[in-house]
């Protein structure tokens, strides 16, 4: 009897266990058939015609019918139909249902949503021992820079009340309702919480939000995850303002005026596509936003958000995300993409494809330095955007270490957040710390990211600190600090050597209570720093093919731009950064900020050259970029060790530092079109033609001999065996005939010759160039050089060379 009862219990357990619902996740499907925006002409001139609307409806109906015939009606949720840049859909389903869909007739490709992140670094907090950043007030274009251009920002939304987005550029409206300086752009203004009617004011010409993926992926918080285009995070507002914010907007934080901000292209119009929320970001919502932006007719797309890891199960170029960018390029839309914030290690790039421009981050010459003045006259430099303690250095105040100011009878845990890091006011004796400058320590809580500056400030305010100093910990070494506006006097001392000097003074004076100090003014900028320097966090090349990091013949990043400590608009809700709550401006760092500068520069180039294709804009940026800093030296890059620098390579800077003025008139450009990108994909080593057809719908009819044959403004050879002939074609976009001479600086381990060594080219004329690259030494690592084309009319065209020689003989095994 007992054994039968046990058996019954086992059977019940097995039955219940088997009945547990299978987890649902988001999947992205690509379908047979072309999307609507299969050419720039259809996008610009006929996209909203009745026949295309009917075609779009037919595609949606087909997606629905396929799902209904393949899956049980109540078991899945279709989130979107994609119709314009890709033909496909997003569905919330189980893995077993996904397997059914993968086998369904008409489904080319199925991929799991891997999520997206904002491409800021550690924002204004610490992220352990490495990285951190600095910034500047934006010095953008002239008042009319960017006029006639619409930039689509796929991001966290926008704060429509911010002065950076006031409509200071009214324009006439044509009979069909389109503003006269935005072509055939047709957007919409979706209203909702904190985004009332009138938010699309002429500067903001359209605003939409995409949340189906976010709602399916996680429970959203209605008090921050607003179902409207409003930006509760601040990131989207920051990027939009850095790229296209108004001219001369006062940057005021805690009552102090830091300067005046302006975007790179302040006359450009802003189209908002909110796709990332404080709680979560999904690739599904981002692709839906890109799809809509292309349909609306934006000129440029800013992607300062994106997947934080390479795709699994497919090569980097053939993920649904990168295919969407390819089709956006085919539709005539320029896309700037954050390179990623996973540096300084190599092979950390997150912008993979040659049809999007990957932006790396650099510093500028603007820095903010505060100081702690000790009672012995020693002045220790540090970081902190705060005003001085009373007396502005003329009056010294009691200095005390957190450990010496503890409440001895308190019941709090004796752990570093309480005893060292000033995170909890109950740990201190109020009488001891009131009116004192308290020395807090960077300790275990900051390493684990459970401690924060925000908590130090809260403790200081609660107990009436005169100020605080956060000191590097001798056990952990230097940390890297970001300047952040403090509402009370504060300073960060990130170098152990400086901390040792402070502690030597303090230990010698504390017994008599005579240790004194003052925090001096830290909000005034200086402009004498070596710049640009590649930011430590900025992702590095070489570009790669898959999660195995096999290198490919594409130079990434594409270009370097300011992304280190950038002032721009912020949302006062600041849902993800409590320390910035209430602020209308923030000083942020990341390749997001570099992306803003690149997309703003693209607007300037497009304004002056409205007929240029995205490839021509990209080429102009690349060939005119600078590879020397303000001291006339090769641009430096931050290395892994705190404070370390090394001479940069193209895998750090791409073509070099963005030079918008020169890019407007580059002399020569390199053009590539959709068919060229297909040939590039077909020539990718190990490519499965069936997989390529699955995601693009195209057959490999004319592959290149090598990937390196794509007509890029750079030459990258990831595996040179013996020798290789490389061809490039340039076009003269100037107004005059020009004579160019060619100079070659070959990478180590190679010889490079170019033919012809000089040429004369007429306006709109073409010229073929042939580079013979020979391996002379096996290095099995990349080395770098360049080709420089110098024109008689002062145009200079730089072509970086990056070569990895694996054999000096074509017959070597």
Give 484-521 pLDDT, tens digit per residue.
Answer: 898 899 999 999 999 999 999 999 998 877 999 999 99
pLDDT grade for 6, boundaries at 50, 70 and 90: very low
Q: Tokens 């007030």, residue? A: 137
Give 125-142 pLDDT, tens digit per residue.
Answer: 332 223 222 233 444 567
pLDDT of 810 reads: 61
| CA nearest to 176, candidates 331, 48, 291 | 48
**Tell me, what DSSP letter sits at residue 229?**
S
Average pLDDT for 262-288: 96
Cβ contact 485:454 at 8 Å: no
pLDDT of 143 reads: 82
Cβ contact 117:278 at 8 Å: no
Give 72-124 pLDDT, tens digit per residue.
Answer: 888 899 999 999 999 999 999 999 999 999 999 999 999 999 999 988 753 32
Cβ contact 800:786 at 8 Å: yes
pLDDT of 177 reads: 36
**What are 219's two structure tokens?**
């429970």
Give 139-190 pLDDT, tens digit per residue.
Answer: 456 788 899 999 999 999 999 999 999 998 665 433 333 343 456 899 999 9
Q: Is 592 a catalytic residue?
A: yes
Give 625-634 pLDDT, tens digit per residue.
Answer: 999 999 999 9
CA–CA dist 118, 134 (Å, integer): 18
> Radius of gyration over alpha carbons of the chain, in Å?
28
Q: Is 155 a catalytic residue?
A: yes
Q: State the DSSP string of 528-549.
A: -S---EE-TTS-----BSSTT-
Cβ contact 313:250 at 8 Å: no
CA–CA dist 683, 702 (Å, integer): 9
pLDDT of 42 reads: 45
User: Residue 775: in which H helix or E strand, if any?
Assistant: strand 766-775
pLDDT of 283 reads: 97
Please tell me which residue in 92, 113, 133, 155 is annotated as part of the active site: 155
Average pLDDT for 28-54: 69
| CA nearest to 233, candidates 117, 95, 368 | 117
Average pLDDT for 232-253: 95
pLDDT of 20 reads: 53
Give 585-633 pLDDT, tens digit per residue.
Answer: 999 999 999 999 999 999 999 999 999 999 999 999 999 999 999 999 9
Q: At what angle do helices 283-296 and 320-330 cross, to 10 degrees?
A: 10
Please tell me which residue in 592, 619, 636, 718 is annotated as part of the active site: 592
Give 769-809 pLDDT, tens digit per residue.
Answer: 999 999 999 988 999 999 999 999 999 999 999 999 998 76
| CA nearest to 783, candidates 661, 625, 657, 647 | 647
pLDDT of 53 reads: 81
Give 56-82 pLDDT, tens digit per residue.
Answer: 899 999 999 999 999 988 889 999 999
Give 649-676 pLDDT, tens digit per residue.
Answer: 999 999 999 999 999 999 999 999 999 9
pLDDT of 171 reads: 53
pLDDT of 52 reads: 79
CA separation, residue 439 to residues 494, 502, 596, 646 (Å): 13, 10, 38, 34
Give 548-583 pLDDT, tens digit per residue.
Answer: 999 999 999 999 999 999 999 999 999 998 889 999
Q: Is 39 a catalytic residue?
A: no
Between residues 740 and 547, which one has the greater pLDDT? 740
| CA nearest to 132, candidates 539, 535, 577 | 535
CA 129 to chain centroid = 22
**Tell me, what DSSP letter sits at residue 195?**
B
Residues 6+ apart with CB under 8 A from 198: none
Please tell me which residue in 92, 235, 238, 655 is annotated as part of the active site: 235
CA separation, residue 8 to residues 11, 14, 16, 371, 563 (Å): 5, 10, 12, 75, 65
Roughly how many angstroms between the first and final C-alpha of the chain, as a whole number?
Answer: 73
At residue 13, does pLDDT exceed 60? no
Beta-carbon neighbour count of residue 529 at 10 Å?
15
Enter the pTM of the model. 0.92
pLDDT of 254 reads: 92
**What are 778's two structure tokens?**
């096996």
pLDDT of 675 reads: 94
Sign of CA dihedral 555, 560, 565, 567: negative
pLDDT of 511 reads: 81
Percent of the chain whose pLDDT exceeds 70: 91
């Amino acid at each position: 009897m007992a054994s039968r009862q046990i058996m019954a219990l086992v059977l019940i357990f097995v039955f219940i266990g088997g009945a547990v619902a299978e987890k649902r996740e988001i999947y992205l499907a690509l379908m047979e058939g072309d999307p609507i925006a299969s050419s720039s002409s259809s996008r610009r001139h006929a996209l909203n015609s009745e026949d295309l609307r009917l075609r779009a409806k037919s595609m949606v109906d087909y997606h629905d019918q396929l799902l209904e015939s393949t899956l049980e009606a109540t078991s899945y949720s279709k989130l979107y139909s994609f119709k314009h840049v890709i033909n496909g859909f997003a569905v919330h389903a189980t893995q077993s249902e996904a397997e059914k869909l993968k086998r369904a007739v008409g489904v080319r490709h199925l991929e799991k949503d891997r999520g997206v992140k904002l491409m800021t670094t550690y924002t204004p907090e610490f992220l352990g021992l490495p990285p951190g950043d600095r910034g500047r007030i934006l010095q953008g274009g002239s008042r009319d820079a960017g006029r006639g251009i619409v930039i689509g920002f796929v991001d966290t939304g926008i704060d429509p009340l911010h002065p950076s987005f006031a409509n200071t550029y009214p324009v006439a409206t044509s009979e069909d309702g389109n503003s006269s300086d935005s072509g055939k752009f047709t957007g919409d203004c979706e209203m909702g919480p904190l985004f009332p009617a009138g938010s699309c004011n002429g500067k903001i010409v359209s605003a939409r939000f995409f949340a189906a993926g976010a709602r399916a992926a996680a429970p959203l918080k209605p008090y921050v995850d607003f179902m409207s285009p409003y930006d509760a995070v601040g990131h989207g507002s920051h990027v939009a303002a850095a790229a296209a914010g108004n001219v001369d907007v006062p940057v005021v934080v805690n009552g102090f005026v830091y300067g005046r901000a302006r975007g790179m292209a302040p006359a450009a119009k802003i189209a908002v596509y909110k796709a990332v929320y404080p709680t979560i970001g999904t690739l599904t919502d981002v692709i839906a936003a890109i799809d809509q932006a292309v349909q609306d007719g934006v000129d440029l797309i800013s992607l300062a958000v994106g997947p934080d890891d390479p795709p699994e199960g497919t090569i980097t170029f053939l993920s649904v995300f990168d295919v969407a960018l390819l089709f956006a390029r085919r539709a005539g839309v320029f896309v700037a993409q954050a390179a990623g914030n996973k540096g300084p290690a190599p092979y950390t790039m997150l912008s993979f494809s040659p049809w999007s421009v990957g932006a790396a981050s650099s510093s500028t010459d603007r820095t903010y330095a505060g100081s702690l003045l000790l009672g012995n006259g020693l002045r220790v430099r540090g970081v902190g955007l705060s005003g001085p303690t009373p007396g502005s250095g003329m009056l010294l105040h009691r200095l005390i270490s957190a450990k010496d100011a503890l409440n001895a009878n308190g019941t709090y845990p004796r752990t570093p957040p309480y005893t060292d890091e000033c995170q909890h006011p109950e740990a201190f004796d109020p009488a001891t710390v009131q009116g004192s400058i308290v020395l807090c320590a960077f300790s275990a809580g900051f390493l684990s990211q459970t401690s924060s500056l925000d908590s130090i400030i809260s403790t200081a305010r609660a107990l009436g600190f005169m100020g605080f100093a956060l000191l590097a910990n001798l056990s952990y070494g230097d940390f890297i600090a970001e300047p952040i506006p403090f509402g009370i006097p504060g300073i960060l001392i990130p170098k152990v050597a400086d901390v040792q000097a402070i502690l030597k003074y303090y230990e010698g004076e504390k017994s008599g209570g005579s240790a004194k100090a003052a925090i001096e003014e830290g909000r005034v900028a200086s402009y004498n720093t070596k710049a640009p320097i590649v930011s430590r966090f900025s992702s590095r090349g070489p570009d790669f093919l898959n999660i195995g990091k096999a290198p490919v013949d594409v130079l990434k990043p594409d270009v370097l731009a300011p992304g280190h400590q950038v002032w721009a608009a912020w949302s006062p809700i600041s849902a993800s950064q409590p320390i910035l709550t209430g602020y209308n401006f923030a000083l942020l760092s990341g390749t997001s900020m570099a992306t803003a500068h690149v997309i703003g520069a693209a607007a300037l180039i497009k304004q002056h050259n409205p007929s240029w294709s995205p490839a021509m804009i990209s080429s102009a940026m690349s060939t005119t970029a600078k590879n020397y800093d303000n001291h006339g030296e090769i641009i430096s890059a931050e290395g892994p060790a705190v404070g370390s620098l090394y001479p940069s390579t193209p895998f750090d800077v791409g073509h070099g530092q963005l030079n918008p003025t020169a890019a407007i008139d580059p002399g020569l450009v390199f053009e590539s079109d959709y068919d060229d990108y297909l040939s590039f994909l077909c020539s990718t080593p190990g490519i499965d033609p069936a997989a390529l057809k699955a995601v693009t719908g195209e057959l490999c009819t004319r592959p290149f001999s090598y990937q390196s044959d794509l007509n890029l403004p750079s030459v990258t050879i990831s595996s040179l065996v013996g020798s290789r002939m490389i061809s490039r074609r340039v076009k003269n976009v100037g107004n005059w005939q020009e004579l160019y001479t060619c100079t070659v600086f070959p990478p180590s381990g190679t010889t490079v010759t170019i033919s012809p060594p000089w040429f004369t080219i007429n306006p709109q004329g073409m010229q073929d160039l042939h580079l013979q690259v020979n391996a002379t030494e096996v290095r099995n690592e990349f080395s770098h050089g360049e080709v420089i084309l110098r024109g008689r009319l002062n145009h200079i065209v730089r072509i970086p060379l990056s070569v990895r020689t694996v054999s000096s003989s074509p017959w070597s095994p």
